[in-house]
Every structure is written in structure tokens, then in C-alpha cells.
Structure 1
Amino acid sequence: MTFSLVARCEETGMFGLAISSSSPAVAARCSYARAGVGAVASQNVTDPTLGPLALDLMQGGMSAAEAIAGVKDLGKFIEYRQVLAVDKNGNTAIHSGPNSLGIWTQAMAQNVASGGNLLANDGVPQAIVDGFLSSTGHIGDRLIAAMRAGLAAGGEAGPVHSAGMKIVDKVAWPVADLRCDWSEDCPIKNIATAWEVYKPQLDAYIQRALDPREAPSYGVPGDQ
């Protein structure tokens, strides 16, 4: 019911992930990232505890592969789970349990990993990885490009209805956390539109948190 990617920007050290599904609010259950540590997608028959577990293991010094091995050892009903991870060095790892749904597969490269289940075909994750690697610019732009590539390659077997994109940088909170929890239209398009609006304001929102004395006004009523 899901296809996703986790990624690291080699230039900035930012982590991000993007995800889409026929199920509602997929990003609320499946997307996890921690600045300076990594990004994790926990999907298929979802166990939301596995994302924080993998991040904790990587924060403790494990590589992505070691963290995924730890998830397999410590997680319950792991044969139903699909978990993707990228670590602070750009190493990637994926576990796809044999009880993943429908057509399921995965693809990995340095700094990016993609996986999916109930896919239209088994080439979707590789198309997502290729879409990320062939794109340039801000990691948010590259995540959107990768998801569009996956959609163009066939995406999920049925229509997708929710999507999300999360980005972390040097602060303790996500610098972008955009979600479309349900749409009869394309939720990836909705996320892309939200990113176009949010991207120019991203740094200003960080500044508002760190030192509001230097924060810009957006010119809306009451914000002077």
C-alpha cells in the first residue's frame, strides 16, 4: 500500500524522506528522521515503534545495516514489516519481510534507499532511487522529483490518497514536515505544491525559533 524513500544530502548533511500510500495519513505512522542521525521509513503492515527504534540504534553508533539488523532482532512480527534506513554516513539498509503485501521490492544506493509494497510493478523503487540520484538542488526538491519518478514508473497498484515529506537539519525539530492525509486527487502533487510555498520560508521559521528578534515579517495582518 506504500512506496517511499529515505535520503541524505551529501552536501548539507540534511536527512529527508517522502512517502505515499492508498491508506490515509501514511506519513503520520511511517516517517521518522533525526538531525545528525538518519531517516527511517517503517511501512507495510506498520509498526510505528520501529522507526524510533532504528533511529535510537543509529544514534547509539550503529550503521544503517546494524540498526536494521537490530530492528529485525527486537521487533515483533518482523516478517510483516518493511523498514528503510539511511545513516549519518549515507549508508543505507532495508528489511522487507516475506509477508509484505502484493508486489514488493526495494532499491538502494549511497545516500538513498527506496521500498514499496502493493506496487504496480517491481521497477518502482529503482525508478525512485534513480530519480533522486539524477536530480539536483535542495533535498526537498530531490525528494519530490524522486516520488514523481516513482509515480511515473507505475507507483502503487491502485490510486494513492496520502503523502508526506519530512526534512531534518541541524535543529531538534523537523525543518519541514508536510502532509496530505487524504485526497481524491494526487497527494504527491499536493505535497509538491505545499513545498513550493514552504521552501522560501523554511529558513525564516528556523530563525523565528532560534532568535525571533531577527525574524522577518511575512506581511500578513497583525504580523508587523
Structure 2
Amino acid sequence: MRQLILLSFFIPVSLFAQPAHQHEPFAHTFSIVARDEKTGDLAVGVQSHWFSVGTTVSWGEAGVGVVATQSFVNKSFGIRGLQLLKDGKTAQEALNILLSDDEGREVRQVAIADAKGNVAVHTGKKCVDFAGHRKGSTYSVQSNMMLTNKVPDAMATAFEKNASLPIAERVLKSLEAAQQVGGDIRGRQSAVILVVKGTSTGAPWDDNHLVDLRVDDNDQPLRELDRLLRTHRAYEHMNNGDLAVEKNNMKLAMQEYGAAMKMFPQNLEMQYWTAIALANTKEVPKAAAMLRGIYAKDANWREMTRRLPKVGLLTVSDTEFAQLVN
């Protein structure tokens, strides 16, 4: 029995001539790295039939670059690649260094986009068919183990065609185009979009998370990623509304909360803060009508309203306050 076990272990190694370490994960997939020509922001997007691909393939740092490392993954390429860019190497120079001493280079697929607009990509000769890439002036798309050989061209065409969209939405269109022409031969499971600022402001807590969305396990990961991205955009309006409240600009707060509510009209929190902004801009009857509908669905929001005057988030008279809570 022991001999049979040993035989079953060694056959795959010989078959693939795989010099990579056994602990390195598989991430046969399609991805895109890109730089936004208008803003300089950097993005990486991925879909794969592999659990939690966003923890393996996609890497990025504001003012530095983005990396996608896939096929037989060498995860160190993410961190090491970004460090090489920080040390002043171009995307191509960084890629050359990463591959120079990598015994598994022929089963690797790696793409890098740097903050200066340089792009580099490598597809090893032993990546599983269909495997390939296409490099544009500000992006690279790459795929391996695809159902058809149409994926790179479809991704590139979609990315270029949607130049008017924000970079995250362009990346999503590119990923969707890959799936439409067959995608991963094994199916689909997880996806990610990461967008970082092209120029660092010294605040990595903001710069590195312009968009940071992951779907770890879903039978329709791109559909779920689309929903998350739309939700992210709605909550950008919510955040802008909160900032306006901090500055006591209730008119702007109402506009921002209202914009979010239009995107997700059934979201009670978006409805609620729109109503509070209305109350703070002296449209109390309209606010009260909205709040009645909210309270009917979840009475906890009434208790929330009672707590707001104490901290200055609801500035109305006692009579108006009674209209809002009753």
C-alpha cells in the first residue's frame, strides 16, 4: 500500500515537470491589472474557480503598483514585486528579477502595473491551456486554464471599450467579458477588485482601499461583485453625507443621503438618514412621513431618533421632535 501511495504522489510531479514548492496554491484564473489614465489610480481584478482568490492573486499599494500572481502561484511575488517597485524598479524590471531565480517560472503567470504607467506580464510555457495574455498601453489581461482561447482578447476589448467608466467598473466589465466567452474551464467560485491611489497621500488607511471588494465563495461571483460595487458606490454617498453633517452642511448631507437612497431605495438606513437630513433642513412633515414607514418595518429606528438630539445630530424644536418620534 505504501508503494502505491508513493506512486500516486510522484506521477503528477513528473507529469507537469513542476519544480514549484508543494505548498504553493493553484489559482488558475483570469485577471487584469490596470492604471487609470485619468486619475492615475491602479486596479487589479480577478475571477477564479478557487476559494478566496483575493487572498492569493491580487496585491496592491498606493503610489507603487498592483500585481496579479496566478497559475501555480508564488505569493511572494505580490509583496516582493511591490517592494521592487518601491525601490525604483519599473514593472518589467521587477518582473525580470522575480522570475530570474524562480525554478517554477514556466508554470507561473504574473502581471504588474506600476504607478508610472508601465506594464509587464509573463505567461509560462507550461501554464495549462488555454493560457495567454494581452498587454495594452496601461493594462494587461491574462488567463490560464480557460475553456476557450478568446478570453484575453475579450477582456482587452471590454476594458478599452469602457474607458468612460471609473476604473473599478472598467475592470468588472473586463472580467464579465471573460466569463461571457467561456471563462475558467472548471467554472467559477471567487472574485476580487482592488483599487489603490496612484499617488500616495501618506494615509494608507485611505489610499489603499479606494475599492477593496472580495467574493470568497459564490456560484455567481461576478454578479455578487457587481452588487457589492454598486453598494460601495452608494455608501460613498453615505460617507459624503456623514462628512457634510460633521461640517453642519445639512443641505449637502440631504443630497448625498438622497443619492444613496435612490440607488438602494429599500435600504432602511439610507432612508433613515435621508429623513433626518430632511428634518434638519426644516422639512419636518416630509421627514416624519418617511420615518413612520421606517418605524413600521423596524421599531429600533424610533429609539435611534430619540438619541440623536443629545449628540447634536437632530436639531429641531420640541414640537417638531414630537412629530418625528410619534
Fold equivalence (TM over 0.5): yes
1:165-176 → structure 2 map (5 Å cutoff): 165-169=193-197, 170=200, 171-172=203-204, 173-176=208-211
Partner residue in 1 for 2:233:
199
Post-superposition offset of 1:76: 4.9
Post-superposition offset of 1:207: 10
Partner residue in 1 for 2:191:
163
| Alignment of 1:144 onto 2:172 | yes
Match of 1:46 among 73, 76, 79: 73
Partner residue in 1 for 2:181:
153
> Counterparts of 1:4 and 1:204 in 2: how far apart (Å)?
30
SS of residue in 1 equivalent to 2:223 = helix
SS of residue in 2 equivalent to 1:16 = strand
Aligned length: 222
Which structure carries more helix by proportion? Answer: 2
1:47-126 → structure 2 map (5 Å cutoff): 47-126=74-153
Post-superposition offset of 1:168: 0.6
| Alignment of 1:177 onto 2:204 | no
Q: Tell me the TM-score normalised to structure 2 length.
A: 0.62
Q: Conserved in 2, the CA contact under 8 Å of 1:161 and 1:187?
A: yes
Give the letter for the 1:178 counterpart: L
Post-superposition offset of 1:180: 0.8
> Counterparts of 2:77 and 2:175 in 1: how far apart (Å)?
23
Give the letter for the 1:104 counterpart: A
> Counterparts of 1:17 and 1:213 in 2: how far apart (Å)?
33
1:2-41 → structure 2 map (5 Å cutoff): 2-41=29-68
The structure, 1 or 2, with the larger RCO (C-alpha pairs under 8 Å, 6+ apart) is 1
Give the letter for the 1:156 counterpart: D
> Counterparts of 2:241 and 2:34 in 1: how far apart (Å)?
25
CA shift digits 1:114-167 (9 cap, x unpaired): 111101122201211111111022111111111111111221113111111111
Q: Conserved in 2, the CA contact under 8 Å of 1:5 and 1:115?
A: yes
SS of residue in 1 equivalent to 2:126 = coil
> Counterparts of 2:238 and 2:74 in 1: how far apart (Å)?
34
CA shift digits 1:91-111 (9 cap, x unpaired): 211111222123110110011
Structure 2 regions of 5+ residues with no counterpart?
Answer: 1-27, 258-269, 274-300, 314-326
> Counterparts of 1:84 and 1:63 in 2: how far apart (Å)?
12
Partner residue in 1 for 2:6:
none
| Bigger radius of gyration among the two | 2
Q: Conserved in 2, the CA contact under 8 Å of 1:176 and 1:202?
A: no
Which structure carries more strand by proportion? Answer: 1
**Identity rate of aligned residues, in percent?**
25
Q: Conserved in 2, the CA contact under 8 Å of 1:25 and 1:180?
A: yes
Post-superposition offset of 1:74: 4.2
> Counterparts of 1:37 and 1:190 in 2: how far apart (Å)?
29
Structure 1 regions of 5+ residues with no counterpart?
Answer: none
Post-superposition offset of 1:206: 9.3
Partner residue in 1 for 2:278:
none
Q: Tell me the TM-score normalised to structure 1 length.
A: 0.89
Q: Conserved in 2, the CA contact under 8 Å of 1:175 and 1:202?
A: no
Partner residue in 1 for 2:224:
190
Post-superposition offset of 1:4: 0.4
> Counterparts of 2:179 and 2:48 in 1: how far apart (Å)?
11
